[in-house]
Structure 1
């Protein structure tokens, strides 16, 4: 690959990375091509050398944003080797994640857009939901129970983060994060059963 091709590939990756961050922070309808290109240090006119349309860029950025979260979740689970689910819960429901949507989990920001999106967008979203469920289920010693627990855990994580970002009162937002985290940790696979027969 010649220098110009390498430079073009690097520029494309830079634009895609910026767009993925903006999609995580703002959703799919807000990021403007001009803003993305300016932040990438490129002209608006050069956009079409890299992408067929804005929809093409946003679709690729959304898929990238969704995929990038998986590595972060795996890393979070590995931080607490004795209780990996606790490590994942603590990392996901922390204030820094709430306050940094541009680098956070795209499941939170892109859920509503995926529900209204086309087949490929829904497929990309579903792929990540399934990957996260597999990751969380693998933390449980009982595979049969693990999948159902993973669905509950992931739903609570994403829902709590969505609400914590959406409410106006900072103390209430903090309360949402901390209470859901504590309940999930008590409910998790390492917690004693409190079920009534």
Structure 2
């Protein structure tokens, strides 16, 4: 690859990474092409050298954002080989994850968009749901594949729902309580942070 082709590929990757972060922070509708290009240090006019349309960029950025989350979950599951499921739950339902939507799981921020989106976005979202289910299933204990899959579905639904709610509520104590309670229940400890009345 020549220097100009390498520079073009690098610029394209930069725009994709910025767009992936921004859609995790703001959703699919918000980031405009001009803003994304400016943040990447590129001109608006150069956009079409990299992407055929804004929809093309958003679809690719969504797929990238979704795949990034999978790598982080796999890493969390590998931290403690004796308890991979607990490690995954603790990492996902952490205040650190809650407070960093730009680098967090895109299943949370892209769910509504995927539900209303085109087939390509739905397929990217579904692919990641399937991969997360496999990852959670691999980290689970059990001999019955149907039970393991059902547990993975419940676990993934609880993880995504709890993170979404913890970000959406105004009360920081309730937000912490949601994370701690759901994590405790998923790990079978029943632990929760007491709510103040």
TM-score, normalised with respect to structure 1 = 0.93
Gap runs ≥5 in structure 2: 191-197
> 1:76-97 CA distances to partner (integer Å, 9 max, x unpaired)?
0011211110000000000010
Count of paired positions: 188
Deviation digits for residues 93-145 of structure 1 (CA, Å, limit 9, x no counterpart): 00010010000000000000000001111010000000000110112232331
**Corresponding residue for 1:151?**
153
Distance 2:77 2:189 in 1: 17
Corresponding residue number in structure 2 for 1:195: none
Distance between the aligned counterparts of 2:189 and 2:95, measured in 1? 21
Question: Counterparts in 2 of 1:1-197, with a 5 A limit?
Answer: 1-140=1-140, 141-142=142-143, 143-186=145-188
CA distance in 2, matches of 1:117, 1:61: 14
Say what the alpha-carbon RMSD is for the aligned residues: 1.2
Moved over 4 A (4+): none
Distance in 1 separating the partners of 2:23 and 2:102: 7
